[in-house]
Amino acid sequence: MAPNRRVAPLRREQIVQATIQCLARDGYARLTMKTLAREAGVSQGILHYYFADKAAILVAVLESVTADLNQRLEQAQHAHLQAPEKRLQAVIRTCLETAQACPELWQVFIQLWGEMMHDEQLSAINADLYTKMRRQIAVLLTLGIRQGTFRRVDVEATAAMILGVVDGMALQLTFDPQVLTLEAAITCCYEAVERYLSPQVELQLNAST
């Protein structure tokens, strides 16, 4: 018998959240439908009703964590709608705080990055997330350039660079948390990005040519 329509979305989300916890605790290699059913508190029959196989569950999990991160980024920027430099700081802080405060979300990305090399659907979801994040940052950079807060740069390339800095710092916080505190990591990213975007850099470059 098919699950109640009102219950179905909740049960599906229950399975997705259980998968996130399993990935964070045990890793992808140890993830099986049996252990997942146990974690979710459902039978394997119910598990297969919602998801045909493990690959389908992983797609739902990646969609869930990317939606979560997008929501966090939008909320973080909302308080600084007219200040691109503050919104950019909010993006950096939110990404790094999420990596530490919600390690299971970041660990899902780490666990699935390897699978993305062989799964076109996972790769497409991840590519879409990074495309959206680069566009968000590029918009902030464009606003900052127009206001004179940032120097003139290739906004697309610079957005990719900023994401690279944040991802790299988040990885260090994940694998070697004793190296830097969260606040120190955030400050390092802020300072690196702000120095790169400073109008003074453009003046120095013009003066040297």
Give me the pLDDT at residue 80, please: 64
Q: According to the model, what pLDDT value does residue 59 have?
A: 92
C-alpha 109/C-alpha 104 separation (Å) is 9
pLDDT at 204: 58
In 3D space, the residue among 52, 72, 76, 53 whose CA is nearest the CA of residue 64 turns out to be: 72
The CA-based diameter of the chain, rounded to the nearest angstrom, is: 75
> What per-residue confidence (pLDDT) applies to 203?
53
Q: In angstroms, how far is the first alpha carbon of the chain from the final one?
A: 75
CATH architecture for segment(s) 1-51: Orthogonal Bundle (1.10)
pLDDT value of position 176? 86
Query: For position 186, what pLDDT does the model report?
Result: 95
* Nearest-angstrom CA–CA distance, 116 and 122: 5
What average pLDDT does the structure give for the chain? 87
**Residue-range domain boundaries for the chain:** 1-51, 58-208
Q: What pLDDT score does 10 carry?
A: 80
- Rounded mean pLDDT of 168-196? 92
Q: What does the pLDDT read at residue 1? A: 45
Q: Do domains 1-51 and 58-208 have the same CATH topology?
A: no
Mean pLDDT across the stretch 69-92?
84
Q: Which residue has the higher pLDDT, 107 or 151?
A: 151
Residues of the chain above pLDDT 90, percent? 53
Q: What is the pLDDT of residue 205?
A: 52
The CATH code of the domain at 58-208 is 1.10.357.10
Over residues 119-176, the pLDDT tens digits come to: 999 999 999 989 999 999 999 999 999 999 999 999 999 999 999 999 999 998 888 8
Q: What is the pLDDT of residues 25-36, one digit of tens each?
A: 888 888 899 999
Residue 68 vs residues 78, 104, 130, 206: alpha-carbon distances, Å: 16, 12, 14, 42
Which of 67, 66, 63, 51 shows the shortest CA–CA distance to 15? Answer: 51
Task: Give the residue, 206 or 60, on which the prediction is more confident.
Answer: 60
